[in-house]
C-alpha cells in the first residue's frame, strides 16, 4: 500500500533534520579540534582539494573540504574564550584574544594550503632528477619549501577572513573574497605563480569553462568558494527545529542554482560556437618526445635535430609528404638543443626542409648579437620563439619576458653562482628578459600572433599586452622536465583556459605533450597526448571578437568582488536585525 503524502513529507523532514543534526555535529567537532588534530584535518582537507584540479576534475570533493576550512576558522577563538558566553573582557585581554584568534585562523589556512600545494605541485621534484647527480639533493627542499611559501597566501586569506568574520552565510562570502583576493596576489607577487588557482575547479567540463570569458579565473574563484562551501555550512548553522526542516535543502539549492547558471551560460555560449577557419593556413605540430636527460647531451644534439627534421616530413598517418600543403611547421620550446643562429649548417638544413611559402615556428636559444659597447662582457642569452622562412632565414623573433625562477634564472644570480648554485637549465648567468610589453608578431600567412613560451600561458590578463590585440596564441613549451605526472596535464588545461578568457585560438607545441590546436571556446580540435611521439595537422581557427574579460581584464573580478561585499553586508545586517 502506498504511503500517504503526509507520511512521505514527515519522513522527508525527519530525515532532513537528522542529516542536518549530523552535519552540525561534524561542524562542532571540527571547530573544537585542538593541537595537531586541528592542523592534520586542515592539511588533509587541502590535500584532497587537489582532486578538483586537472587531470582528475573531481570537483565535488570541494563540497566536503571547503566547509572544513570554514569550521576551522569558526573554531579559531581559543576554547573557553567564546565572547558570546563571557562577560565583557578588559580591552587588553580582548585584543590579545583577537590576535590569538587571527593567528589560529592563519595557521589553519596555512596547513590547508600546504596540503593543497604539496600534492598539487609534487611534480616539480621530477625536474631535480633529470640531472640527479647535481640537483637531487635539492629535491626535498623544492617539493616542501615552495608549497610552504605558497601556503602563506592561504594563511593570509583565512587570517583576513577571521578579522572580519561575521555570523551566518555572510562568512562564506567573506572567505570567498579573501581567498580569491589572495589567489590574485599569488599570481602577481614576486613575479607571480598562479598555478592551480582554485577557480580552475569550475572549468571542467567545457560548458563550465565558458564563464572565464566573462569574469576570468579569479572571478570564478569567488563562485567556487561560495558554491562548494554553502550546502554543508548553511545546513550546520541551523539551530531550531523549524530551521532544520529546510536547512538541508537551502544551502544545496543555492549551490545548485549557481552551478546551473554557470552551466546554462556555457551551453548557450557553445550553442553559438561556429568558428570559421583562417583561410589558407595549415599547421603541422611536431612532438618528438625527447627525454629530458638526452636533450642537452652534446653527443646527441645532432641526432635530435635530425630527428626533428625527419619527423616533419611525415603526416600523422606516417606517410612522407615533405610538408606538402603545410603552411606553418611548429616545433616546441628549445627544439634545437644548441644555438641555431650560431650554426649556418642548421639554418641550411631548415631551408632545405621547408617548401616554398612554408614557415618554421620554433623555440630556440640565442645569444645577443656581438658588437655591443663592451666586447669583453658576456653576451646575454635568451629563450626565444623564432620564425624561419624557406631559405632558412630568421624573419621573426620573440624573447621570453616571464622567466621561471630557479629554472631559467636565480634571484641574486651572481651571488648565488659564486656560492656554486645553478638554475636547472645550467645557463651561466641565467637567461635575460626580452622587451616588454609582449610584442604582437607578424608571421606570413597567419593573423597577428602573441608568442607564449612555457609557463607564460598560465598568467591571466597577461598573455595579451600592449595596445594591439593579437588574433592567435602560439604556446611553445617543454614539459619533459616533469615526466609522466599531473604537471603537464595541469599546464595544458591552464593554457586552454587562456584561449577562452581571451577569445583567441591557441596552437600549442610541447616536446613530450600535450600538443594541440584549440579554438576560442576551448574545444580541442586535434591533440597529441602526453609522451606520444608523432605529428598532428590542423587548420587554424579564427579569433572571436574580444570577450568581456579580454576588454576589462581583472576589473571584472573587482566588480564581482564588490557585489559579494554588498551581499555580505546585507546578510550581516539582516542577521543582526
Q: Is position 410 within any domain?
A: no
CA distance 333 to 527: 17
User: Do residues 36 and 20 make contact, with C-beta atoms less than 8 angstroms apart?
Assistant: no
User: Do residues 176 and 564 make contact, with C-beta atoms less than 8 angstroms apart?
Assistant: yes
Q: Which three cell numbers stand for residue 372?
A: 655591443
Phi, psi of 477 (to 5 degrees): -145, 165
CA distance 382 to 370: 14
> What is the SS3 assignment for 558?
helix
CA distance 436 to 453: 14
Claim to verify: residue 244 and residue 317 sit in the same structural domain = no
CATH number of the domain within which 393 lies:
3.60.110.10
If you average pLDDT over residues 413-436, what whole number do you get? 62
Active-site residue, selected from the candidate residues 182, 183, 408, 454: 454
Phi, psi of 358 (to 5 degrees): -95, 135
Q: Is position 508 within any domain?
A: yes
If you average pLDDT over residues 420-435, what whole number do you get? 64
**H helices present in 164-300, as ranges:** 170-186, 206-209, 212-237, 241-271, 292-295
Active-site residue, selected from the candidate residues 126, 183, 333, 408: 333
Does residue 532 have an active-site annotation?
A: no
Claim to verify: residue 253 and residue 380 sit in the same structural domain = no
Q: Which of 177-191, 318-332, 344-358, 407-421 has the lowest mean pLDDT?
A: 407-421
Claim to verify: residue 74 and residue 19 sit in the same structural domain = yes
pLDDT at 127 over 90: no
Q: How confident is the model at residue 414 (pLDDT cuts 50, 70, 90)?
A: low
Which residues on adjacent β-strands are paired with residue 409? 405
Q: Which three cell numbers stand for residue 374?
A: 663592451
CA distance 567 to 561: 10
Claim to verify: residue 74 and residue 215 sit in the same structural domain = yes
Please give the C-alpha separations between residue 360 and each of 222, 445, 528, in angstroms, as whole numbers.
42, 12, 19
User: Do residues 159 and 109 make contact, with C-beta atoms less than 8 angstroms apart?
Assistant: yes
User: Do residues 157 and 182 make contact, with C-beta atoms less than 8 angstroms apart?
Assistant: yes
Claim to verify: residue 500 and residue 519 sit in the same structural domain = yes
CA distance 344 to 346: 5
408-439 b/e (C-beta count within 10 Å ≥ 16 → b): bbbeeeeebeeeeebbbbeeeebbbbbeeebb
Q: Return the biggest CA–CA distance within the chain.
A: 97
Q: Which three cell numbers stand for residue 497?
A: 583556459
> Which one-letter DSSP state was computed for residue 439?
P
Does residue 400 have an active-site annotation?
A: yes
pLDDT at 400 over 70: yes
Claim to verify: residue 244 and residue 161 sit in the same structural domain = yes
Q: Is position 338 within any domain?
A: yes
Q: Is position 550 within any domain?
A: no
CA distance 496 to 342: 34
Q: In this prediction, what percent of the chain has a pLDDT beyond 70?
A: 86
Claim to verify: residue 181 and residue 326 sit in the same structural domain = no
Phi, psi of 437 (to 5 degrees): -70, 165
Claim to verify: residue 227 and residue 355 sit in the same structural domain = no
CA distance 153 to 49: 16
Claim to verify: residue 388 and residue 455 sit in the same structural domain = yes
| DSSP E strand boundaries for 306-358 | 328-330
Q: Is position 411 within any domain?
A: no
CA distance 519 to 499: 7
Element (H, E) at 153: helix 139-163
CA distance 70 to 31: 9
CA distance 536 to 528: 7
Q: Is position 313 within any domain?
A: yes
pLDDT at 247 over 80: no
CA distance 66 to 114: 15
Claim to verify: residue 122 and residue 145 sit in the same structural domain = yes
pLDDT for position 252:
87
If you average pLDDT over residues 486-499, what whole number do you get? 97
Which residue would you say has higher pLDDT here, 436 or 126?
436
Q: In this prediction, what percent of the chain has a pLDDT beyond 90?
A: 70
Claim to verify: residue 260 and residue 320 sit in the same structural domain = no
Q: Is position 546 within any domain?
A: no
Active-site residue, selected from the candidate residues 126, 182, 183, 400: 400
Q: Which of 5-9, 300-304, 376-380, 526-530 has the lowest mean pLDDT?
A: 5-9
**Host domain of residue 172:** 5-82+91-271+556-576
| DSSP E strand boundaries for 288-417 | 328-330, 359-367, 381-388, 394-399
Does residue 279 have an active-site annotation?
A: no
Q: What confidence tens digit (pLDDT) does each residue in 547-557 have?
A: 999 999 999 99
Please give the C-alpha separations between residue 59 and each of 5, 63, 65, 391, in angstroms, as whole numbers.
36, 8, 10, 51
CA 379, chain centre distance (Å): 34
If you average pLDDT over residues 233-256, what whole number do you get? 73
- Half-sphere CA count of 286, side-chain side, radius 13 A: 28
Which residues on adjacent β-strands are paired with residue 450? 440, 473
Phi, psi of 476 (to 5 degrees): -105, 130
Q: How confident is the model at residue 133 (pLDDT cuts 50, 70, 90)?
A: low
pLDDT for position 82:
53
Q: Is position 13 within any domain?
A: yes
Number of domains in the chain: 2
Q: What confidence tens digit (pLDDT) does each residue in 71-107 have?
A: 999 999 776 555 444 456 677 777 788 889 999 999 9
Q: Which of 5-14, 352-361, 461-470 has the lowest mean pLDDT?
A: 5-14
Please give the C-alpha separations between residue 490 and each of 106, 247, 335, 441, 527, in angstroms, as whole numbers.
27, 36, 22, 27, 15
> What is the SS3 assignment for 323?
coil
Claim to verify: residue 283 and residue 263 sit in the same structural domain = no
CA distance 106 to 112: 10
Amino acid at each position: 500500500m502506498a504511503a500517504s503524502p503526509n507520511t512521505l513529507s514527515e519522513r522527508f523532514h525527519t530525515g532532513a533534520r537528522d542529516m542536518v543534526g549530523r552535519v552540525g555535529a561534524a561542524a562542532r567537532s571540527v571547530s573544537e579540534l585542538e593541537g595537531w588534530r586541528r592542523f592534520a584535518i586542515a592539511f588533509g582537507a587541502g590535500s584532497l582539494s587537489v582532486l578538483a584540479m586537472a587531470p582528475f576534475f573531481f570537483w565535488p570533493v570541494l563540497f566536503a573540504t571547503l566547509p572544513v576550512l570554514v569550521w576551522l576558522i569558526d573554531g579559531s577563538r581559543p576554547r573557553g574564550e567564546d565572547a558570546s558566553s563571557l562577560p565583557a573582557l578588559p580591552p587588553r585581554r580582548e585584543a590579545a584574544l583577537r590576535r590569538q584568534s587571527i593567528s589560529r585562523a592563519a595557521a589553519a589556512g596555512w596547513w590547508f594550503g600546504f596540503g593543497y600545494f604539496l600534492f598539487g605541485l609534487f611534480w616539480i621534484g621530477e625536474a631535480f632528477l633529470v640531472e640527479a647527480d647535481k640537483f637531487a639533493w635539492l629535491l626535498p627542499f623544492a617539493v616542501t619549501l615552495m608549497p610552504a611559501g605558497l601556503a602563506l597566501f592561504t594563511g593570509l586569506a583565512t587570517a583576513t577572513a577571521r578579522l572580519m568574520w561575521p555570523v551566518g552565510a555572510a562568512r562564506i562570502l567573506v572567505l570567498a573574497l579573501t581567498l580569491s583576493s589572495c589567489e590574485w596576489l599569488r599570481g602577481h607577487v614576486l613575479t607571480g605563480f598562479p598555478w592551480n588557482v582554485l577557480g580552475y575547479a569550475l572549468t571542467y567540463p567545457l560548458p563550465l569553462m565558458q564563464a572565464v570569458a566573462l569574469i576570468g579565473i579569479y572571478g570564478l574563484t569567488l563562485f567556487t568558494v561560495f558554491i562548494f562551501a554553502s550546502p554543508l555550512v548553511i545546513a550546520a548553522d541551523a539551530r531550531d527545529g523549524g530551521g532544520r526542516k529546510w536547512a538541508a535543502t537551502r544551502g544545496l539549492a543555492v549551490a545548485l542554482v549557481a552551478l546551473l547558471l554557470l552551466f546554462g551560460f556555457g551551453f548557450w555560449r557553445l550553442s553559438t560556437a561556429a568558428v570559421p577557419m583562417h583561410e589558407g593556413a595549415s599547421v603541422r605540430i611536431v612532438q618528438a618526445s625527447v627525454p629530458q636527460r638526452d636533450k642537452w647531451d652534446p653527443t646527441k644534439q645532432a641526432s635530435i635535430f635530425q630527428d626533428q627534421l625527419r619527423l616533419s616530413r611525415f603526416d600523422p598517418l606516417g606517410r612522407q609528404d615533405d610538408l606538402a600543403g603545410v603552411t606553418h611547421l611548429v616545433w616546441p620550446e628549445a627544439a634545437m638543443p644548441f644555438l641555431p643562429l650560431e650554426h649556418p649548417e642548421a639554418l641550411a638544413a631548415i631551408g632545405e626542409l621547408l617548401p616554398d611559402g612554408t614557415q618554421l615556428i620554433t623555440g630556440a636559444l640565442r645569444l645577443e648579437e656581438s658588437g655591443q659597447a663592451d666586447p669583453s662582457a658576456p653576451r646575454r642569452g635568451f629563450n626565444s620563439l623564432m620564425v624561419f622562412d624557406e631559405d632558412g632565414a630568421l624573419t621573426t623573433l620573440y624573447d621570453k619576458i616571464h622567466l621561471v625562477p630557479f629554472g631559467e634564472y636565480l634571484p641574486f644570480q651572481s651571488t648565488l653562482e659564486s656560492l656554486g648554485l645553478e638554475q636547472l637549465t645550467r645557463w651561466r648567468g641565467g637567461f635575460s628578459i626580452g622587451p616588454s610589453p609582449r610584442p604582437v608578431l607578424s608571421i606570413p600567412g597567419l593573423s597577428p600572433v602573441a608568442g607564449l613560451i612555457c609557463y607564460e600561458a598560465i598568467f591571466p590578463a597577461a598573455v595579451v599586452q600592449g595596445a594591439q590585440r593579437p588574433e592567435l596564441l602560439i604556446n611553445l613549451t617543454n614539459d619533459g622536465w616533469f615526466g609522466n605526472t599531473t604537471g603537464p596535464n595541469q599546464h595544458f588545461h591552464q593554457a586552454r583556459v587562456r584561449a577562452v578568457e581571451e577569445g583567441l585560438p591557441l596552437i600549442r607545441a610541447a616536446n613530450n605533450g600535450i600538443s594541440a590546436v584549440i579554438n576560442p571556446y576551448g574545444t580541442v580540435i586535434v591533440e597529441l597526448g602526453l609522451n606520444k611521439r608523432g605529428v598532428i595537422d590542423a587548420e587554424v581557427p579564427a579569433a572571436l571578437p574580444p570577450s568581456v574579460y579580454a576588454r576589462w581584464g581583472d576589473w571584472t573580478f573587482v566588480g564581482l568582488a564588490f557585489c559579494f561585499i554588498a551581499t555580505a553586508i546585507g546578510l550581516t545586517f539582516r542577521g543582526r536585525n
